[in-house]
Amino acid sequence: MLGNLVAFGLARKDWNSVRESAEKLLKLNPKSKVALEGLAAAALAAAKFDVAAQHCAELVKIAPNSYEAQYNLGVSYQKLGRLDQAARAYGEALRINPKSAEAQANLGVVLQEKGDTAGARGAYEKTLQISAESQSALWNMALLADQRGDMEEAAILYSEAVAKRPDWDDAWFRLGYLQLHQGDNAGAMEAFRECLKKRPDWVDGHYNLGLARWWSGDRDGA
């Protein structure tokens, strides 16, 4: 009965009901998978990541092959800044479900935050192999190339990003900035114009469009 109440509360996203029913169930059965799943979900919904991590850690002890438990444990540790543990949890999630674009992308972010740029890039590449439309993986790969000074690769990746999502103002801006500093003034002007269509009041966008016009010889336009 309590298990059904937990499931019903989860379906309705009634987190108070989920928590109350799950706590009662856990008292009756300290190893109840349903109760731990309910408590973890309620804690995540409330952004109580320390509590969620505790419940997920208990859950993976009794259900080590639960993708959801391992993934949510990774999310909880990541939010808490416990990056080594987050990476291990996402690794376990990917062991169970190698085709999870979400776990692969999150692993990439964790590795990037740890300073493992090669590992992060590999994770993002795998994410795009699983889901070619993953905007976060494409954006993060572009940022990695940007940060290491590989303007050519970064520009290619930002170009792919705006091709997939033409309203992506940040990607247009970064593309324009790179094109400007590569001497492609015409390309930069087009990128900044697209950027400003989305954010007409963006001061940096207007400033850089002015630079592109100036450097292309259009002094009046600048």
**pTM greater than the 0.95 cutoff:** no
Residues contacting 17, CB < 8 A, separation 6+: 5, 8, 9
Is 196 part of any domain? yes
pLDDT tens for each residue of 146-183: 888 899 999 999 999 999 999 999 999 999 999 999 99
Is 174 part of any domain? yes
CB 71 within 8 A of CB 90: yes
Helices and strands, counts by H and E, the chain? 13, 0
In this predicted structure, which of 8-17, 25-34, 54-63 has the lowest mean pLDDT? 8-17
Q: pLDDT value at position 213?
A: 92
Q: pLDDT value at position 147?
A: 87
Calpha distance 180→105 (Å, rounded): 30
Is 93 part of any domain? no
Q: pLDDT value at position 220?
A: 76
pLDDT tens for each residue of 108-147: 999 999 999 999 999 999 999 999 889 999 999 999 998 8
DSSP 153-169: HHHHHHHHHHHH-TT-H
Tell me the residue range of the domain where 221 lies.
Answer: 159-222
Q: pLDDT value at position 4?
A: 63
Report whether pLDDT(217) > 70: yes
Is 180 part of any domain? yes
- Average pLDDT of every residue of the chain: 91
Rg (CA), the chain: 23
Q: pLDDT value at position 5?
A: 65
Q: Please, what's the b/e burial string for 17-30 (b: 16 or more CB within 10 A of its CB; e: otherwise)?
A: bbbbbbeebbeeee
Calpha distance 218→214 (Å, rounded): 5
Q: pLDDT value at position 27?
A: 85
Percent of the chain with pLDDT over 70: 96
Is 26 part of any domain? no
pLDDT mean over 45-73: 95
The enclosing domain of 171 has a CATH number of: 1.25.40.10
φ/ψ region of 215 (left if φ > 0, alpha if ψ in -120 to 50, else beta) reads alpha
The confidence band for 35, taking pLDDT boundaries of 50, 70 and 90, is confident
Q: pLDDT value at position 176?
A: 95
Is 17 part of any domain? no
27 versus 48: the higher-pLDDT residue is 48
Calpha distance 52→68 (Å, rounded): 12
Is 200 part of any domain? yes
Q: pLDDT value at position 117?
A: 92
Structure tokens at 149: 């000074």
Report whether pLDDT(104) > 70: yes
Q: pLDDT value at position 3?
A: 63
pLDDT tens for each residue of 183-215: 999 999 999 999 999 999 999 999 999 999 998
Domain total in the chain:
1
Is 29 part of any domain? no
